[in-house]
Amino acid sequence: MVLFFFGLRNVSKKNASIPKSGILVSIIVAYKNEVANLPSLLEDLQSQDYPAQQVEIIFIDDNSTDSGSLLLENQNLITSLKLNNAYGKKKAIALGIAHATHELIICTDADCRLGKGWVSSIVNHYEMRGAQLILSPVFFTHKNSFWHNVLELEFASLIASTAGAAGLNMSIMANGANIAFTRSSVNDYVQLSNQKSVSGDDVFLLHAFKKQQMGISFNAQTDALVETAAPSSLSAFLRQRFRWSSKSIYYKDKATIVVALLVFLTSLLQLALLVLSFFSNYYLILFLCSIVLKTVFDALVLIPFLKKFNRQYLLKYIVVVEFIYYIYIVFVAVFSFIVPSKWKN
C-alpha cells in the first residue's frame, strides 16, 4: 500500500471538461435478468452531456429469463442483441464488440448508475493520455448501515489499489463495471479475456494489454465514477469474492501473482499471530502491532483517495475492516477453490 500511495499521485487529477474533438464512442452493456435495473441505467445513458450523435449504445442479453430485452426494443438509439447458442458475460461482450462501429469502447454493467459527465470524462482522459485501456473508479452505492459501510470501505480499498498500481505502471486489477479500450486493440476479445474462467472479463483483458505493452491508465476524474449496488447479504458477498478469487489459478501476470501472494501470506501471518496470542502475550503484542502498521499504511492510500471522491465518512470503519480483513482473505482464498463459480445463473 505504501507503493500505491506514490502511484496515486501519478494518476490524472483534473476534472473532466466536455471534449472538444468529435471522438465516436460505443457503449457496451452485457446483462442477464436485469429488468429492475435497466430503466435507471437507460435514464443515465440518455442524460449524458456528451453529444448523443457521437455515441452508439449496445445491449447484449445473456440468456435472460425476464422481460429486459422487451424493454430495450422500444428504445430509440439503442442496439439490442441476444446471445444465441452461447452463454456468459465474456461471450456477450465479444458479441457487442463485434457489432461496435466506433474506436473507443466503454463497458459498464446494467446495475450501475452513471453521472451525466461519465462519457465526457472518459473521452477527456482518452484525449489527454491516449491510453488503449482506461480503468475508472467504481464505488458501492451508499447506504447508512454498519455492514454496508464496512463493505463500501473494503471495496473502495480495491479501487484505490487499482489506481495506485496503474499510477506505478504496474496495473494488477480492473473492474468491468467501468472500463474502456480501443476497438483496434481487441480484435480477438474472446482469446484475450481467457474463457477458462467464468469471471475476469476485466482482469484478463488487463493482463493481455500488459503482455502486449499497450498503454494503460487510471481515470481519477470524479465525473468518471460509477456506482453499483453492494452485495445484499454476507452469502452474496462471499459468493462474489469466491468468484473473483477462483480466477487466480489462471493468472500469468507476475506482478499480479506477487501482490496476491503477499496479501495472502500477510493475512495468513496475522491469523497465525491471532491464534498464538491465546497462548502468549508476546504474540498478542505482535498481532496488535501488525494491525496498527497495516492500518497506518492503508490509511496513507485511503485518506486522499476517499476525500477525492467524497467518501471520507468511511474512514471511521477502517479499524473494523483491519480486524476482519485477514480472516476473510484466508477464508475466501481457501474456499474459492471448493465453491463453484458462476455469473448469475
Assess whether 258 and 223 both reside in one domain: no
Q: Are residues 189 and 326 in the same domain?
A: no
Looking at the fold, whether 183 and 324 belong to one and the same domain comes out as: no
Strands annotated E in the chain:
25-31, 55-61, 78-82, 104-109, 112-114, 133-135, 138-140, 178-182, 216-218, 226-228
Banded pLDDT at 144 (limits 50, 70, 90): confident
C-alpha 219/C-alpha 128 separation (Å) is: 10
Q: What is the pTM of this model?
A: 0.90
Say whether both 225 and 266 belong to one domain.
Answer: no
Tell me, yes or no, whether 78 and 122 share the same domain.
Answer: yes
- Edge-to-edge strand list for the sheet holding 78-82: 78-82, 55-61, 25-31, 104-109, 178-182, 133-135, 216-218
| Domain's final residue, options 201, 233, 265 | 233
CA angle 252, 257, 261 (to 5 degrees): 155
Task: Calculate mean pLDDT across residues 139-158.
Answer: 93
| Mean per-residue pLDDT of the chain | 88
Q: Is residue 249 part of a domain?
A: no
Q: Quick check: is 248 in a domain? A: no
- What domain count does the chain have? 2
The lowest-confidence range among 191-195, 281-285, 292-296 is 191-195
Give yes or no: residues 273 and 183 share one domain: no
User: In whole angstroms, how far apart are CA 342 and each of 8, 65, 87, 199, 339?
Assistant: 33, 16, 11, 8, 10
Per-residue pLDDT of 234-292, as tens digits, reads: 888 888 888 888 777 888 888 899 999 999 999 999 999 999 999 999 999 999 999 99
Spatial distance between the Cα atoms of 92 and 99, rounded to a whole number of angstroms: 11
Residue 343 lies in a domain: no
| Residues 267 and 228 occupy one common structural domain | no
Q: What is the mean pLDDT of residues 61-78?
A: 85
CATH number for 67: 3.90.550.10
Q: For residue 342, is it within any domain?
A: no
| Per-residue pLDDT at 15 exceeds 50 | no
What's the domain range around 265?
254-334
Same domain, 225 and 278: no
Q: Could you tell me if 26 and 175 lie in one domain?
A: yes
Instruction: State yes or no: pLDDT of 2 exceeds 90.
Output: no
Q: Do 212 and 86 share a structural domain?
A: yes
The answer on 293 and 190 residing in a single domain is no
| Burial class (CB within 10 angstroms; exposed 0-12, middle 13-18, buried 19+) of 106 | buried
Instruction: Report CA 261 to chain centroid distance, whole Å.
Output: 20
Asked, for residue 240, whether it belongs to a domain, the answer is no
